[in-house]
Structure 1
């Protein structure tokens, strides 16, 4: 199946940052392996948006912020269950920078998320309190961008929540599955696939866009 990008399409590249790649503080297995594919996909789109995790010191998602807690444990916070992570994507750090091989010079927007100390933000659209908007939806609507193709890191967290929130906000959202990699916590990938099915978010292969 060949999908031809339209002028109202955008490629949304989620958190392709050093800390999520091998050697980073919260490395996703083979996270760097998708970079050439993402670059190739980017050349198919006139409109590209990059998201960037951008945490302050003592962010609520850091296990080190909470006494006697370890990474990958969960706690209850005002907005629900919070998974605790190693310190990652600290504002201004090399870990928060985009992977050096990412080559999308025509990207029109870099959207930073997770910069509020007391709210985590997996989604590119709404922070984890499900009330605080990032502003991305308004930007896309003003640009008349209506169909979104998502790729990046990590499939079972930030890609998942971005796709589902985008769909709920009225955008057509499509996940390019082989241009993502998961954190792969217990059952997280199965839960993500089920969530995409429930929300009617299709998953495609990069060849659906790159084959001509």
Structure 2
């Protein structure tokens, strides 16, 4: 199974180089890429995206006008309720319970409004965006560079192994040579027995 993976080893550095080039192109101008892709996919306004991506102090929030109008409306309601509390309650004491309930709802609405203003601020989202860019464009690029270097060294080592295999194979003796050496070194027991018998017959005193 691993034998069929060897031809794909030269393609791995090419794959890494393509990814490295793509990440480097993205990290060169990430805001433009995010603006174009997000606007194309979700249709979000470019002003909103630019506000959260840059989070510059010179830029006003695109929701600033709506938030200001909402704040003014809440302040106006609070003023009217205070006026009713001063002028209407002495004349209509039974309305005190209803007025207190409306004031509680207004206080809860103001608390939710302040939370909404904090959530719509660009600081938190922009901080997460900057941290993710640092992780991708610095740590990620460093990891890809090390991985490319290691893959290149692995390819060189694999090539060196393939080039050294023929010479190493020729250094081992073949089976035929080993068989001939074993035949020349071995002795035939029958031949040695016949030679000793002839030697005994040649001796006259025996």
* TM norm structure 2: 0.16
Please identify the structure whose Cα radius of gyration is greater: 2
- Name the structure with the higher helix share: 2
- Name the structure with the higher strand share: 1
* TM norm structure 1: 0.16
Higher RCO (C-alpha under 8 Å, 6+ residues apart)? 2
